[in-house]
Amino acid sequence: MGWLFLKVLFVGVTFLGCLYPLVDFCCSGDTRGQKPNFVIILADDMGWGDLGANWAETKDTANLDEMAAEGMRFVDFHAAASTCSPSRASLLTGRLGLRNGVTHNFAVTSVGGLPLNETTLAEVLRQAGYVTGMIGKWHLGHHGSYHPNFRGFDYYFGIPYSHDMGCTDTPGYNHPPCPACPRGDGDGPSSRGNECCLWFPHRTHERDCYTDVALPLYENLNIVEQPVNLSGLAQKYAEKATQFIQHASASGRPFLLYVALAHMHVPLSGTRLSADRRGRRPYGAALREMDRLVGQIKDKVDRTARENTFLWFTGDNGPWAQKCELAGSVGPFTGSWQTHQGGSAAKQTTWEGGHRVPALAYWPGTVPINVTSTALLSVLDIFPTVVALAGASLPQDRHFDGLDASSVLFGWSQTGHRVLFHPNSGAAGEYGALQTVRLEQHKAFYVTGGAKACDGKVGPPRLHEPPLIFNLEEDVAEAEPLEEGGAEYERVLPEVRQVLADVLVDIAGDKTSRADYTRDPSVTPCCDPHRKACRCHTT
């Protein structure tokens, strides 16, 4: 690991002691007046209807609703995949999983990550003179060169994967719950000695609980806390984000800050939620905690670089079906067809609830205020849009699935994609397969089923040839497919087949990557293998 540390060390010099030990904020000749700053905030498992501006029954997102009133709200905005790693890979590359190689989630023991020949947004902007920071959940590989410090980010503070992929001392709210980390006898070694972290984490039969290895918190290459205190993680993220914005703004260099939140992924942090005096359910309390965190970041932007900072808020995918036990509310994408056919309006599926996500753009003086955009856009568009606004260039040796949405952001156009492809993200079908096609207002399914519904049942896979086709303008809940043989169905079907055939030919001729999904227990992050659950606290 020594050469890796030196590689990061040479990225920058010490700045203000331990806050940003490896970031060089020195002036580089680029001034903020020449290039805009970017803050990208990605919520985790947040439903479209969790945003109050989208769904009037939601009363827990006052800061986000204010951002919507002061900027642009997108109502037809989609994650690039319906689960964590593929969606995040697409955000940072502008490419679908069949191109960038990330088609399903990485594990605690994953050797690989986002393929190293894929160019990230942070790498492009750093080459253009930006200082780059990432705070929060990474989930694109934590071992060796897959760590965010080697993927273009000068500074990193966060967790390497989802916060349910390691035990904690305060597990928070989940259904069913996972147990807390095991505790050893003080500072003495565990019964396994040096092999503590060389075992694959034990899983319970009820849900995927990691009970042997604690969830780590990194600052750059160092684990600074294991297990993470989930009840204080949101505030730590807010503090690190505001500090980064302050230091970068004072330096005169343009900056990119990517904040990948733990909210609304389960488990929901427990300490603040249980103290909710109004007796609201844990999910609503977690929404309010997330909203406060976003509000703190926005307030810092407003105080330091308001007119030259573009803030983009969105989500990585829809919510888990298990959240039905926590939320006590029904969102807008819960149509009868997916329920009857063994699906659910949830993560991993290609129903609207799996990938239609909230999205807001805020840039005072540039993005028009209180505008609702109906343009069909995607997380895939973040990469090419930010690159264009930064005056940088896209890599020329590969194809991109995202588009530059600047004209929509500036209020000049309502035209986004004509076609979007929704890959399989863990339900029925092959990982990454483009089995659902959005063509203007129509949506075609070649495979459904295979996802866990709110009652815990998993429906059988169902292949559809010819495909199911819905008209989302008339049936956004995807309750009733068009009648096969009807005039509308027969008109749309050939176009669906053609655009799908075209993209598959394009991918076959593109420069594509293949992720390494092999596993090795020895790569599990562990700061002290002599202690049960790998315990350490250096913060």
Active-site amino acid positions: 84, 139
Whole-number Å distance between alpha carbons of 361 and 407: 13
Token digits of residue 238: 């807010």
Instruction: Say if residues 337 and 478 touch (Cβ distance below 8 Å).
Output: yes
Using omega within 30 degrees of 0 as the cis cutoff, is the peptide bond preceding 134 cis? Answer: no
Whole-number Å distance between alpha carbons of 450 and 352: 16
Whole-number Å distance between alpha carbons of 289 and 179: 23
Q: Which of 175, 174, 173, 191 is nearest to 183 (CA)?
A: 191
Q: CA dist 441 to 76, 405, 419, 496, Å?
A: 10, 19, 9, 12
Return the bridge partners of 443, or none: 438, 470
DSSP states along 389-405 = HTT----TTS--S----
- Is the Cα dihedral 323, 329, 333, 338 positive or negative? positive
Return the bridge partners of 260, or none: 42, 136
Helix ranges restricted to H, 305-433: 324-327, 336-340, 352-355, 382-389, 406-409
Instruction: Say if residues 536 and 528 touch (Cβ distance below 8 Å).
Output: yes
Give the CA-trace dihedral at 473, 477, 483, 489, to 10 degrees: 40
Instruction: Say if residues 89 and 102 touch (Cβ distance below 8 Å).
Output: yes
Residues in the chain: 539
Whole-number Å distance between alpha carbons of 231 and 248: 28
Whole-number Å distance between alpha carbons of 84 and 316: 6
Q: CA dist 515 to 98, 417, 512, Å?
A: 10, 27, 10
